Amino acid sequence: MRTLFGKILLWFLGAMILTIAAVVLTTALTFNVGEQRQPPFGATLRLQMREARQAYEANGAAGLAAAMERFHNMFPGQHIFVDAQGRDLLTGKDYSKLLAEARTRPLIPFVRPHVIARPTPDDKYWFLVVLSRRESAFWFLQPWHLWIIGLVMLLSYALARHLANPVRRLKEAVDRFGTGDLSARVKMRRADELGQLAGAFNQMADRTESLVTAQRRLLQDISHELRSPLARLNVAVELARSAADPEPNLDRIQKEADRLNALVSELLEVTRAEGDPSHRRTEPVRLDEIVGEVVADSEIEAHALGCRIDFAARPEITVSGDAELLHRAVENVLRNAICHAPKDTAVQVELDQQNGTARLRIRDRGPGVPEQALPQLFEPFYRVESDRGRSSGGVGLGLAIVRRAVGIHHGTVKASNAQPGLAVEIALPVAVRL
């Protein structure tokens, strides 16, 4: 058989057959060793010998004949009771050669008859049992022993199924996954090596599904978002070719080109945020230093837009992760708040640590967003409808990058209306100090 189930089942059945054969051969080759080492079979022969002697000495040949008849009906083989010279005390036949053979020749199952001999304690009499070839191999087995063989076969079958079924289920999941069903997983509660293999496959499938899904979503987002600026570029190019003064149209082309460049840059950031975890840097990162750097870099932009940033230095807060991704996430939230902050207002940046969690809260005092739009703020390319015409509006990827970067670090991000303004809170687990 080529299946794992068949191989395991045949292996156990073969092991059982070899075990039985080894027991038979060992028993046969060692049965005529010293009397003191004999198993219950030897004890049975001693009882037969004792009964035969008592019957012969008490009632002569008639008593011995009755005892031999009982032995013949109860036990396999030909039973003979002889004197020390090998003469049958019942028939007078000479069995001296058979007696000598019993003392020297071991049993070879299925090859020739076997003789078992037991002397009386005073060596005056000998009790002989002559077994045929079939009886010499299986003389100690009884028909009711078959239930033991059946039980072993049943247990072997159950064990083979127990080992082969998880492999079969894993193969089915791999086949489904290979044909494009990325949701295929192996449901298994085992804690052994097969359970660990199933868990490793599920982890691989999760990572592969996330990567493929991210690529598909990226292609869909790109095709959706690039269509409009490319169409406007084509129109501006045609107008520039036919217009007497191409300067306004060239400005329009430059604007759309800048927009495409910004879009591609942010798409690359999204791709990196969803990239392969095995290529992601993980190290202790000072979150308070990252927030301080982002605030310092953004103050010029805030001043240009007529607002300011309020940030008070906090104690050291260390998280484990990728410093560049965290820097990008904090920067996107802060720049988004600055872009929507009214003039002469402050963007509040608060960082603290509670119960092993670092919390960063950034709040502006702008118009906020509709309540129904809050759950969608972190979706790719989503922009609040009233913001689409604003010059400060981006392509709708900044907060999507924030959510994915924070998720990679096993954190959470949420937005809420602060009345007035919008507040975005990022929660990250603090690194454990050894």
Classify residue 276 as exposed, middle or buried by CB count within 10 Å of its CB (0-12, 13-18, 19+): exposed
The CATH number that applies at residue 367 is 3.30.565.10
Give, for 115, the enclosing helix (H) or strand (E): strand 114-119
Count of domains for the chain? 3
Whether 396 and 302 map to the same domain: the answer is yes
Whether 425 and 303 map to the same domain: the answer is yes
Whether 341 and 395 map to the same domain: the answer is yes
- For position 137, what pLDDT does the model report? 47
Asked whether residue 25 is domain-assigned, the answer is no
Structure confidence by residue, pLDDT tens digits, 39-83: 556 677 788 888 989 998 898 888 889 988 888 888 777 888 999
Range of the domain at 382: 280-429
Residue tagged active-site, from 224, 279, 340, 409 = 224
Whether 133 and 45 map to the same domain: the answer is yes
DSSP E strands: which ranges in 278-420? 283-286, 308-311, 318-321, 346-354, 357-363, 412-417
**Rounded Cα gap, residues 334 and 368, in angstroms:** 15
Whether 310 and 238 map to the same domain: the answer is no
Which residue positions in the chain have pLDDT lower than 50?
A: 33-38, 107-112, 137, 386-393, 434
The CATH number that applies at residue 236 is 1.10.287
- For position 145, what pLDDT does the model report? 64
- For position 360, what pLDDT does the model report? 92
**Rounded Cα gap, residues 76 and 84, in angstroms:** 24
pTM above 0.75, yes or no: no
**Rounded Cα gap, residues 261 and 240, in angstroms:** 21
Whether 303 and 338 map to the same domain: the answer is yes
Domain boundary among 77, 109, 141: 141
| Residue 174: closest CA among 140, 208, 143, 144 | 208
Structure confidence by residue, pLDDT tens digits, 382-429: 666 544 333 444 556 678 778 888 888 889 999 999 888 899 999 999
Whether 313 and 268 map to the same domain: the answer is no
Non-local CB neighbours of 25 within 8 Å, separated by 6+ positions: 109
What phi and psi values does residue 99 have, to the nearest 5 degrees? -65, -45
Whole-Å CA distances, 138 to 23, 56, 134 = 10, 30, 6
Active site residue 114: no
| Residue 120: closest CA among 31, 54, 216, 40 | 54
| Residue 173: closest CA among 201, 197, 199 | 201
Classify residue 329 as exposed, middle or buried by CB count within 10 Å of its CB (0-12, 13-18, 19+): buried
CB 55 within 8 A of CB 66: yes
Asked whether residue 388 is domain-assigned, the answer is yes
Which residues on adjacent β-strands are paired with residue 83? 125
Give, for 411, the enclosing helix (H) or strand (E): none
- For position 383, what pLDDT does the model report? 65
How many Cα neighbours within 13 Å face the side chain of 102? Answer: 20
Whether 54 and 99 map to the same domain: the answer is yes
Tokens of 70: 């009982």
Classify residue 378 as exposed, middle or buried by CB count within 10 Å of its CB (0-12, 13-18, 19+): buried
Asked whether residue 148 is domain-assigned, the answer is no
Other CB atoms within a 10 A radius of the CB of residue 111 amount to 10
CB 55 within 8 A of CB 81: no
Classify residue 242 as exposed, middle or buried by CB count within 10 Å of its CB (0-12, 13-18, 19+): exposed
Asked whether residue 71 is domain-assigned, the answer is yes
Domain boundary among 231, 248, 273: 273
Whether 54 and 118 map to the same domain: the answer is yes
Domain boundary among 273, 301, 332: 273
Whether 296 and 425 map to the same domain: the answer is yes
Asked whether residue 181 is domain-assigned, the answer is no
- For position 237, what pLDDT does the model report? 80
Classify residue 405 as exposed, middle or buried by CB count within 10 Å of its CB (0-12, 13-18, 19+): buried
